[in-house]
Structure 1
Amino acid sequence: ARLALCALLFAYALAACGGPTPTASTAPYDNVAAPTSAAASSDAIGLGIDQTRLDVCALLPRAEVEAAIGTLVDEPKQSLAIGDEVGCGYLVDQGRGYEVLVYNLDRWELLPQFLDVSPVAGLGDGAYAEKRVGGGVTLYVLLRERAVVSVGVNGADTPQLRQLLSLALAQIAAV
């Protein structure tokens, strides 16, 4: 279980450091207007919330996390921070790992520059999807004047991932 969580965190570190990007099709996300319009970009600028004061594991109630993604096989774990982001990792059966991260607003401008992301419609004030090496996916969502929230899984974009994302967005928007 710890090995799977370490592998998930290593994959996030590679993605954040500009590691190899997948060449798989992003068909579910194609043909969506890019959320980096002038309006979305200007809305992302600002101080936002001080995410360094957040305890994401405490912010997302375990019962609600389990209702979204299934029974946890281990306690939620604080994510390894590469910068000022904060987050929490969750491990469910068969080694499926999820992670919720909260970033500064300035991260929004960097996403399309440093990651192979595709725009996604209908999430927050703008959203991107990143297909990761090994078949994982991360969704990055802009909460205008608040933060950039990402939810990732070492698997496909599923209803469980979307439910965890909805929970995270609701809790972080209320901070």
Structure 2
Amino acid sequence: MKKPSEYLECGLKLSLPANFSRTLDRSAETVLLEKGCTVLYQGEEPGFIYFIAEGLMRGYYIDSEGNDMSKCFAAEGEFACTERLRKSGKATFTIETLETCICVKIPYSFLNANRNEDETILKVINEFTQRALKKAERRERGLLTLSASERYIDFLLEESKLAGRLSQKHLASYLGIRPGSLCRIKKQMDSPM
């Protein structure tokens, strides 16, 4: 496997200063996470942010009855476990791998200690956070104003690369519908008018 700095430079298409890269490589680690691995539990204090070089992760809430509802997905070239960038405290949702993942696991302590050393990586993480917030706002608008069919079509338009990688259960949960309803929507879309 490559060094953490190499994965970040390649995946984010940026060049890190040599001194920062050396410091990052000593503090961060490249990890292989098997499918079904939980990297952060709801209610746990986040200690790391993950850059996904390969694979797919899902964030989800667990309600009082033990049901899980998909909140978000993160794939190659994206970060996971970013909630601590927006607020301190315990995680409000759980994050698991949906595929085997190769990730750069960066301690939050490293980010905090090196804020003034190089702003490149923090700028990239902040840009990602802004994109994630825009995506969350678009999803919220969809949940409040669009029909289930329209939400599915919107997802296919906005997240086409993810659609084939998600289970019916996870996608339906993300869209705010039951898996059987998603099945009916797909059949209606596939049938000739």
Shorter-chain TM band: under 0.3
- Judging by fraction of residues, say which structure has more helix: 2
Larger Rg, first or second structure (1 or 2): 2
TM-score computed with the length of structure 2 as normaliser: 0.22
